[in-house]
Amino acid sequence: MARRRWWHRGVLLLCLQAMVVSALDMWWNLGVRPFDTWRNPQLYILGATPMCTQLKGLSAGQTKFCQLYHDHMPSIGRGAKMGIGECQYQFRFRRWNCSTVDDTSVFGPVVAIASREAAFTHAISAAGVVHAVSRSCREGELASCGCSRARRPKDLNRDWIWGGCGDNIEYGYRFAKAFVDVREKEKNHPRHSRDLARMIMNLHNNEAGRKSVYNYAKVACKCHGVSGSCSLKTCWQQLPSFREVGDRLKDKYDGATEVKFNKRGTKLVRKNKRYNRPSREDVIYLDESPDYCTSDPDTGSFGTIGRECNRNSEGMDGCNLLCCGRGYNTFKRKLVERCHCKFYWCCYVRCKTCERIVDVHTCK
When comparing pLDDT for 45 and 206, which is higher? 206
Q: What are phi and psi of 340, to 5 degrees?
A: 50, 45
Quick one: which H or E segment has residue 363?
strand 348-363
| Burial tier of 357 (Cβ tally within 10 Å: 0-12, 13-18, 19+) | exposed
Shared domain check, 312 and 255 = no
Shared domain check, 167 and 71 = yes
**Which positions ≥6 away from 334 have C-beta within 8 Å?**
355, 356, 357
Is the Cβ–Cβ distance between 96 and 307 less than 8 Å?
no
On whether residue 302 sits in a domain, the answer given is no
Of the candidates 253, 273, 296, which is a domain's last residue? Answer: 296
Report the pLDDT value the prediction gives residue 22, as an integer from 0 to 100. Answer: 47
On whether residue 137 sits in a domain, the answer given is yes
Upper half-sphere CA count for residue 288 (Cβ side, 13 Å)? 2
State pTM to two decimals.
0.86
Report the pLDDT value the prediction gives residue 240, as an integer from 0 to 100. Answer: 96
pLDDT digit string, tens, across residues 81-96: 999 999 999 999 999 9
Say whether pLDDT at 48 is over 50.
no
On whether residue 58 sits in a domain, the answer given is yes
On whether residue 20 sits in a domain, the answer given is yes
d(CA 197, CA 243): 30
What single DSSP character describes residue 337? E
When comparing pLDDT for 322 and 50, which is higher? 322
pLDDT digit string, tens, across residues 279-316: 999 999 999 999 999 999 888 899 999 999 999 999 99
d(CA 208, CA 249): 8
Of the candidates 296, 318, 340, which is a domain's last residue? Answer: 296
Q: Return mean pLDDT, the chain.
A: 87
Q: What are phi and psi of 363, to 5 degrees?
A: -65, 140
Report the pLDDT value the prediction gives residue 230, as an integer from 0 to 100. Answer: 78
On whether residue 301 sits in a domain, the answer given is no
Of 211, 220, 183, 231, the residue nearest 279 (C-alpha) = 211
% of the chain with per-residue pLDDT over 70: 87
Report the pLDDT value the prediction gives residue 228, as an integer from 0 to 100. Answer: 62
What single DSSP character describes residue 300? T
d(CA 301, CA 290): 8
Among the listed ranges 32-36, 124-128, 136-140, which one has the minimum average pLDDT value?
Answer: 32-36
Shared domain check, 237 and 162 = yes
Say whether pLDDT at 347 is over 70.
yes
**Which is it for the CA torsion 3, 7, 8, 9, positive or negative?**
positive
The number of beta carbons lying within 10 Å of the beta carbon of residue 268 is 22
Report the pLDDT value the prediction gives residue 323, as an integer from 0 to 100. Answer: 95
Report the pLDDT value the prediction gives residue 106, as an integer from 0 to 100. Answer: 87
Report the pLDDT value the prediction gives residue 25, as an integer from 0 to 100. Answer: 75
Most confident by average pLDDT, 30-44, 133-147, 337-351: 133-147
pLDDT digit string, tens, across residues 254-289: 999 999 999 999 999 999 999 899 999 999 999 999
Expressed as residue numbers, the domain containing 167 is 2-296
**Which positions ≥6 away from 44 have C-beta within 8 Å?**
50, 51, 70
The total number of structural domains in the chain stands at 2
Among the listed ranges 50-59, 108-117, 315-324, which one has the minimum average pLDDT value?
Answer: 50-59
Shared domain check, 217 and 345 = no
The pLDDT-based confidence of 6 (bands split at 50, 70, 90) is very low
Q: What are phi and psi of 106, to 5 degrees?
A: 70, -55
On whether residue 303 sits in a domain, the answer given is no
Shared domain check, 156 and 100 = yes
- For residue 352, the domain's CATH number is 3.30.2460.20
On whether residue 30 sits in a domain, the answer given is yes
Among the listed ranges 47-61, 268-282, 349-363, which one has the minimum average pLDDT value?
Answer: 47-61
Quick one: which H or E segment has residue 2?
helix 2-13
Question: Residue 278 carries which side chain, given as an amino acid letter?
Answer: P
**Which positions ≥6 away from 52 have C-beta within 8 Å?**
58, 63, 66, 67, 70, 73
Q: Cα–chain-centroid distance for residue 151?
A: 27
Shared domain check, 260 and 141 = yes
Mean pLDDT of 209-218: 96
Say whether pLDDT at 165 is over 50.
yes
230 sits in the region (left: phi over 0; alpha: psi -120 to 50; else beta) called left
Three-class DSSP category at 69: coil
Of the candidates 296, 326, 352, which is a domain's last residue? Answer: 296
Say whether pLDDT at 227 is over 90.
no
Shared domain check, 289 and 316 = no
Shared domain check, 322 and 279 = no
Is the Cβ–Cβ distance between 84 and 100 less than 8 Å?
yes
Shared domain check, 314 and 241 = no
% of the chain with per-residue pLDDT over 90: 66
Is the Cβ–Cβ distance between 364 and 328 less than 8 Å?
yes
Shared domain check, 147 and 11 = yes
Shared domain check, 340 and 265 = no
On whether residue 288 sits in a domain, the answer given is yes
Q: What are phi and psi of 47, to 5 degrees?
A: 95, -20
Mean pLDDT of 220-238: 82
Is the Cβ–Cβ distance between 115 and 36 less than 8 Å?
no
Report the pLDDT value the prediction gives residue 24, as an integer from 0 to 100. Answer: 64
Report the pLDDT value the prediction gives residue 266, as an integer from 0 to 100. Answer: 92
Is the Cβ–Cβ distance between 311 and 318 less than 8 Å?
yes
d(CA 251, CA 232): 38
The pLDDT-based confidence of 172 (bands split at 50, 70, 90) is very high
Shared domain check, 320 and 244 = no
